[in-house]
Amino acid sequence: MLTARAAALRAQIVARGLTKYNVESDAPAQWDSGTRPVVLVPGQVESDASIACGGGAVRTNQALLRAVRAARPDAFVVYKPHPDVMSGNRRGRLAEAAALRMADHVETRASIIACLARSDEVHTITSLAGFDALLRGVPVVTWGVPFYAGWGLTDDRAHDHPAWARRGRRLTLDALTAAALLLYPRYWDPLAGDFTTAEAAIAAIASERDRLRASAAPDRLMRGFWRRQLRKVRVLVRAACADKGRLGRD
């Protein structure tokens, strides 16, 4: 059954500690929130198409923090800048002083996994960190219309967005996981030079992550925006050529 396979895949992702970014520090989150509930606010690249197409009234990191502080005045708000912005690869950096006018702490060392482990709630516009939170059972409030919102799994604040008209069904988390990770994408194994399964891709990513952590390489992978884009293009071209060749044989 597809949802059972999705549940197993979700468990595999959580157990292996995988996210979109897998070369962050494994240092624990060490803020002192006392007895206040912790609200995590992942920063985003403000020029991303996900915000241009999926943002609501809230479209910047500063506006998001302002909305979160108004919605959760008694919470301990943690702002985590986007890794690509922190590394200088993308624009959208919010000055720490400006962030601290609305947040209680700016987290620049701990990984998103470590932050989620200490958070009671995540607020985001469209960040994939919201999906990471759902996979780990952390409640999510959305201020935009990411793909995982509108299915009854999140508290959605971007009212009157046209996307809601297309999302009238209620989904379980495993059904959403199946759609997002099993039905929609295709996975490519660059070593085998062929397509592969989601499960095999997850195992390969975890293995490579562990290998890099054992070396001195992880920090190097966080730098060089154009180098990373070129690497992605090469993989896409190889996959397209392989797919074309397969269609020709069929």
Average the pLDDT over 202-231 and give the result. 71
Q: What is the CATH number of the domain that holds 65?
A: 3.40.50
CA dihedral 198, 130, 50, 81 (to 10 degrees): -110
Domain co-membership, 103 together with 212: no
Greater pLDDT, 240 or 77: 77
Predicted confidence band of residue 165 (pLDDT cuts 50, 70, 90): very high
pLDDT in tens, 84-100: 656 555 555 676 777 78
- pLDDT recorded at residue 82: 78
Tokens of 12: 């595999």
**Strand 187-189, strand 121-124: pairing:** unpaired
Q: How many domains does the chain have?
A: 2
Per cent of the chain over pLDDT 70 is: 82
Contact (Cβ atoms closer than 8 angstroms) between residue 155 and residue 142: yes
Domain co-membership, 206 together with 243: yes
Domain co-membership, 165 together with 191: no
Residue that is last in its domain, among 141, 171, 201: 171
Residue that is last in its domain, among 140, 171, 202: 171
Q: Is residue 177 part of a domain?
A: no
Domain co-membership, 233 together with 155: no
Domain containing residue 219:
185-249
pLDDT in tens, 37-72: 999 999 998 888 999 999 999 999 999 999 999 999
Q: Is residue 178 part of a domain?
A: no
Domain co-membership, 28 together with 117: yes
Q: Is residue 3 part of a domain?
A: no
Domain co-membership, 134 together with 38: yes
243: pLDDT strictly greater than 70: no
Residue that is last in its domain, among 136, 171, 206: 171
Contacts of 51 (CB under 8 A, 6+ apart): 44, 45, 59, 125, 126, 144
Q: Is residue 33 part of a domain?
A: yes
CA 45/CA 107 separation, integer angstroms? 16
Burial degree of 183 (CB within 10 A; 0-12, 13-18, 19+): exposed
Domain co-membership, 156 together with 122: yes
Domain co-membership, 116 together with 92: yes
